Amino acid sequence: MDAVRSSYADMLHDKDRNEKYYQGIRAAVHRVKESGERAIVLDIGTGTGLLSMMAVTAGADFCYAIEVFKPMADVAETIVKKNGFSDKIKIINKHSTEVTVGPDGDMQCRANILITELFDTELIGEGALPSYEHAHLHLVQEKWEAVPHRATIYAQVVESMRMWSWNKLLPFSVQSEAGNCEKNIVPFPEMESCPGAPCVHDIQLNQVAQRDFKPLSEVLSMFRIDFSKAVSSSPASHTVHFEPVTSGKAQVILSWWDIDMDPDGTIKCTMEPHWIQQSPQDVPWRDHWMQCVYFLPDEESVEQGECLSLTAHHDDYCLWFSIQKNRNEEGGKDVSLERPICRCEAHMLWNRPRFGELNDQQRMDQYIQALKKVLKADSVCLCVSDGSLLPVLAHCLGAEQIFTVENSLVSHHLMEKIFKANHLGDAIKVIEKRPELLNSADLENKKVSILIGEPFFTTSLLPWHNLYFWYARTAVEGHLNNNATILPQSASLHVVIVEFKDLWRIRSPCGSCEGFDVSMMDEMIKLSLNFRESQEAEPHPLWEYPCKSLSAPKEAMRFDFRQTVPEQSISSEGSMKLVRNGKCHGAVLWMEYHLTEDITVSTGLLQTSDEQDYCQWSPHRKQAVYFFNSVLESEVELACPSEIEYSICFNPKTGDIGMQFKSMV
């Protein structure tokens, strides 16, 4: 189970990566053999053992394969044995920095070929630099071959309000019911100047429409790391001078990398997005390596043709960027090596999709319209959601008194700072408690007339986890007046059958790999799939993963928040007719919240697809994907089955939803 959760199937299915690794390994083994030496390989982060088996297949004399993750090391041991490589590959279940060399050590001698796959989307985020540094000092010979041989980091400066909205809370306005008063809501100053979260935002950048950003620079080659030489994990900065290609606001840095598998750079594996590549239609899909979005601390107005500098900073695990204006040697900003750290607390509570959700004016307008329908001048509101702006909306629309429950100290502090910045500190009372612990004194002995929520909770992974709102509503039943309004009044679980363009690969047997015995790769996938638990959905942000709907969407279950949580399970059975041919990769499930009788907010499907187009999904929440094992394995074009049967059950004792799907002819 743990092996599959690590998404090894995705890497094994990356044909471009596998073929180029094999070409680079084969060339490195050939160069060592040609010099008259035995080829001794060190494979750090072997995973399934694929690269080690490639090395032995290419003629290596022996391979030391290091894997720190015990479940994966066990899988690698099994795979190596099943494919007959046990005599030439030794699996070492340790961190590479703990490996010893010598007659009684883990390795009998130092290696002269270093093979690694220590990279994440940011290149260095999995500790590649410290691992290389240690290996060069202690595990490889004085001269060694490295596969990959080098890596290059690229960057492009862009203006993008869509991406900028993933990092800052933007001002917005609320108009009163009468329309004669408008309140402007602003973030507090500390949030505006905050450098943001210290971690990269990695996404499928190819799914961001080019109309959503404006390039302000050419693609800049920031720096290279040569893995065949000593590598340092010490903090460093690399500056590149450039002139903007157009004027605008520098807000975001898009970044990616490529690796050369050989010294001549003839075997290249690149992560560059489609608009950079000469043949965009041939861009390989992968999910283990994507592209990076970095946010500048402040947006910087730049003019076409002026002299600027972009600096890439890094420590042993993280990258970040800064821009300097080169008006003169003393006039630029200080180039600091200090890693960005959130000072405002917002980035500790809200992730990037949550910022985008809070900045979605169309979504905000739906809540405003719903609140206008239910609020009265004497309304006493209680909000139950993590870090929600609904209390602000309720106040601006005229509620008499508002209480908001925040489960954590961080969210308590954050919301108080937002309320204070907008002079609402006395109008909205923040209660740092779980809803079930509320007492009358917390609510100043008042009965709640309107209970509101988005719902959104930071601990939620799958769409139905936000049904915690229903449990909270049940817990505060005694604090509600007899005619209390619940907003949203209900929620519904929806499902659609889909064909994925690419996401199916993470759960599929792999294909061929030129020049390499693919039978061992298929064996690895089969072993990995055996670890996968059945009847369990996975959260995925489907706006990044195109798919086509093969059925019409269907409401499978409804939850009435006007009533308390029932003691008995809620079950639903039915079938979904397939309206077009395709490969049934799985079912997608999501929640829709019915704020009032006529206002609904969807966290999933926004538009179904036709024969040519892909579905459109909410970009702010992850949807649940249930992969079909049987259909996935066969991948037969469907003239039949004509329907998919489903059975879904909500267990109120656990809050979990179980499901089963099967085909019908």
Grouping H, G, I as helix, E, B as strand and the rest as coil, residue 581 is coil
CA 602, distance to chain mean position in Å, is: 20
Q: With contact defined as beta carbons under 8 Å apart, do 631 and 583 qualify?
A: yes
C-alpha span between 398 and 289 (Å, rounded): 49
Bridge-based pairing state of the strands 172-175 and 89-92 = unpaired
C-alpha span between 258 and 276 (Å, rounded): 13
Bridge-based pairing state of the strands 40-44 and 62-66 = parallel
C-alpha span between 116 and 146 (Å, rounded): 8
Q: Could you give the angle at which helices 519-529 and 50-57 cross, rounded to 10 degrees?
A: 160
Transcribe 237-296 into DSSP letters.
Answer: EEEEEE--SS-EEEEEEEEEEEEESSTTS-SEEE---TTTSS-GGGPPP-SSS-EEEEEE
C-alpha span between 35 and 30 (Å, rounded): 9
Q: With contact defined as beta carbons under 8 Å apart, do 586 and 626 qualify?
A: yes
Q: Tokens in use for 524?
A: 């690895």
Residue with tokens 């999501």: 590
Catalytic residue ranges: 117, 126
C-alpha span between 643 and 647 (Å, rounded): 13
Q: With contact defined as beta carbons under 8 Å apart, do 382 and 404 qualify?
A: yes
- CA 9, 10, 16, 22 torsion-angle sign: negative
Q: Cis bond leading into 455, ω under 30°? A: yes
Using alpha carbons, select from 179, 310, 304 the residue that is nearest to residue 252.
310
Q: Tokens in use for 91?
A: 């699996």
Using alpha carbons, select from 15, 230, 17 the residue that is nearest to residue 119.
17
Q: Cis bond leading into 391, ω under 30°? A: no
What number of other Cβ atoms are within 10 A of residue 75's Cβ?
A: 26
